[in-house]
Amino acid sequence: MNCVVCKMGTTVLGTTTVTLERGVTVVVIRHVPAHICENCGEVYLESEASKQVMEIGEAAAKAGTVVQIQEYRAA
C-alpha cells in the first residue's frame, strides 16, 4: 500500500515495537506485525494487531500494572 503520510513511499511488512500509556500504566509490546513505510518510517498496524494491542493495554491498565514489556502473540 502507499503511505498516506509522505505520499511517496510504499509500505513493507515488518515488525515494530508499540508503546501504550494509560494513566500510570506503560505497556511495551515488541515484534508487532506492521506495514512500515520505506520512505518515512510511518507504521501501520493491521486491524487485528491494533485491536490486540489495545486489549493488552486495557488489561494491564485494569490490573494496575505500572510497566509491562512483552512479545506480541497473534490471537
Contacting positions for Zn ion (CB under 5 A): 3, 5-6, 9, 37, 39-40, 42
CA end-to-end span of the chain, whole Å? 24
- Closer Cβ to Zn ion, 6 or 59, answer by number: 6
By DSSP bridging, strand 25-37 and strand 67-71 are parallel
Q: How many CB atoms lie within 10 A of CB 37?
A: 21
Residue 35 beta carbon to Zn ion: minimum distance, rounded to whole angstroms:
10
Name which of 6 and 24 has its Cβ closer to Zn ion: 6
With contact defined as beta carbons under 8 Å apart, do 34 and 46 qualify? yes
Instruction: Decide whether 39 or 68 has the Cβ nearer to Zn ion.
Output: 39
Quote the least distance from Cβ 49 to Zn ion, whole Å.
Answer: 19
